[in-house]
Structure 1
Amino acid sequence: MIRTVEETGSTNADLMAMLSGGEYLPEGDWLVANRQSAGRGRLGRVWNDGAGNFMGSTVVRPGPGDPPPSTLALMTGLAVHEALAAFVPQARALWLKWPNDLLLDGAKIAGILLEMAAGTVIVGIGVNLAAAPDIPDRAVASLADYGPAPDRDAFAAALAASFDRELHRWRSAGLAPLLRRWQSAAHPVGTPLRVLPPGEDVLEGRFAGLSQDGNLLLELADGTQRTVHAGDVLLASAPH
């Protein structure tokens, strides 16, 4: 079920409040906003989107035997990639970027925010369909930059369906196939990256794939590999 509200601060915050209040939220239900005034991205960034874009949240209830909840960011990225690919011109490059962004021709077109509440993972997704917000330190894009923007409700239905499929694969097939498929949809191995780990200096290197548990592998200039567990990742050649 997809429930739409005209305007809210944040669909993630709304689901968080429902869970905190003891409300049961089933998997497969979505809350989608026409306008969002207090949207949030990773690392505390403001990410407010306007009419015509997709702004929505759903929940996942991890259970025994499921892969680590942190890998839901990768799973969600694949779901968004699948839904977006149907609307992207074939000549354009749609890439996943670790841990939870999608890039169109090197510019951010979608982002994902995971939060935990009462043992439940809230999955928030923002996709620039009709317009891209003005982010001074990031290259951003929307589908409308390349042609007519898709209908938001049609996109929401496509995303809900792809998310359901990827969630089933995540549970039934395990982590290894997910990591292979994620890497095949990401920017190529060898892509120059700048990584800002929390509390550390900037790291520069090249994308070397993913570790067995889904962390970023960065090949440094001296040929050694660094496993990155958290941080802000930028394409080295993109505006930042």
Structure 2
Amino acid sequence: MIHTVAETGSTNADVLAALAAGEAWPEGDWLIADRQVAGRGRQGRNWFDGSGNFMGSTVVRLAPNDPSPASLALVAGLAVYEAVLPVLPEPSALRIKWPNDLTIANAKLAGILLERQNDAVVVGIGVNIRTAPELSDRRTISLSELTHAPDRNSFAGNLARSFVEELARWRNFGLEVMVRRWVAAAHPVGTGLTVNPPGEAALTGKFDGLTPDGALKLRLADGTSRVIHAGDVMFAGQES
């Protein structure tokens, strides 16, 4: 079920508050907003609330045999990828960037934010359907710049179905299949990246795939490989 509100602070914050209050929020239900006045992304960034864009959140209820909750970033990325792919005139231009962005020609199209509440993970997703924000630290793009953009509500339905399918694959087949599919949808191995791990200086290297548990592998200039479990990732040449 998809619940729609005209305006809210943040769909993620609303769902987290509902969970904290003990309200039932089944998997498969979404909260989407026409406008967010306090939306947020990773690293405390504002979440753009352009009219006609997709801004929504859903919940994954963690079970004992589920893969690592952190790997839900792969699930969400693939769900958005599969929902966006059919509307693009050149589908091969769409790429996933670790841990949470979808890009076209290295410009950000969509972002994902995961927040945990006890045995539940709230997955927030924003997609630039009609308009893209102007950001000082990275390029952005919207679907309307590339094609006849889908209606927000029809896109929401497609994304909800795609998320259910990817979540089932995650649970039924484990991480190996998810990692393989994610790497196939990502920018090529060898792409230059700048990574800002928490509490460390920036690292520059080349994308070297993912580990079996979904962490980023960064090939450094000296030929060694650094495993990144958390951090802000930019394409080399973009400012962080």
Which TM-score band applies after superposition, normalised by the shorter structure? Answer: over 0.9
Q: How does 1:1-240 map to 2 (within 5 A)?
A: 1-90=1-90, 93-238=93-238
Residues 146, 107 of structure 1: CA spacing in aligned structure 2 closer, same or farther, 3 A cutoff? same
Tell me by how many angstroms 1:134 deviates. Answer: 2.1
Counterpart contact for 1:19–1:25, Cα < 8 Å: yes
Distance 1:136 1:130 in 2: 20
- Which amino acid is the alignment partner of residue 68 of structure 2? P
Distance 1:204 1:128 in 2: 28
Residues 166, 191 of structure 1: CA spacing in aligned structure 2 closer, same or farther, 3 A cutoff? same
Residues 83, 91 of structure 1: CA spacing in aligned structure 2 closer, same or farther, 3 A cutoff? closer
Q: Once superposed, which parts of structure 1, at least 4 consecutive aligned residues long, lie more than 3 Å away?
A: 237-240
Task: Say how many residue pairs are matched.
Answer: 240
What TM-score, normalized by structure 1, do the two folds share?
0.97
Counterpart contact for 2:209–2:217, Cα < 8 Å: yes
Secondary structure of 1:7's counterpart equals coil
Distance 1:111 1:84 in 2: 13
Distance 1:196 1:121 in 2: 24
What TM-score, normalized by structure 2, do the two folds share?
0.97
Secondary structure of 2:87's counterpart equals coil
- Per-residue deviation, residues 49-89 of structure 1 (Å, max 9, x unmatched): 12100000000001011100010011100000000111122
Tell me by how many angstroms 1:117 deviates. Answer: 1.0
Task: Report the more deviating stretch, 163-172 or 91-100.
Answer: 91-100
Secondary structure of 2:66's counterpart equals coil
Counterpart contact for 1:108–1:141, Cα < 8 Å: yes
Secondary structure of 1:36's counterpart equals coil
Tell me by how many angstroms 1:91 deviates. Answer: 6.4
Tell me by how many angstroms 1:237 deviates. Answer: 4.0
Tell me by how many angstroms 1:48 deviates. Answer: 2.5
Tell me by how many angstroms 1:200 deviates. Answer: 1.1
Counterpart contact for 1:19–1:118, Cα < 8 Å: no
Tell me by how many angstroms 1:119 deviates. Answer: 1.5
Distance 1:128 1:91 in 2: 16
Residues 238, 89 of structure 1: CA spacing in aligned structure 2 closer, same or farther, 3 A cutoff? farther
Structure 2, unpaired ranges of 5+:
none
Residues 145, 201 of structure 1: CA spacing in aligned structure 2 closer, same or farther, 3 A cutoff? same
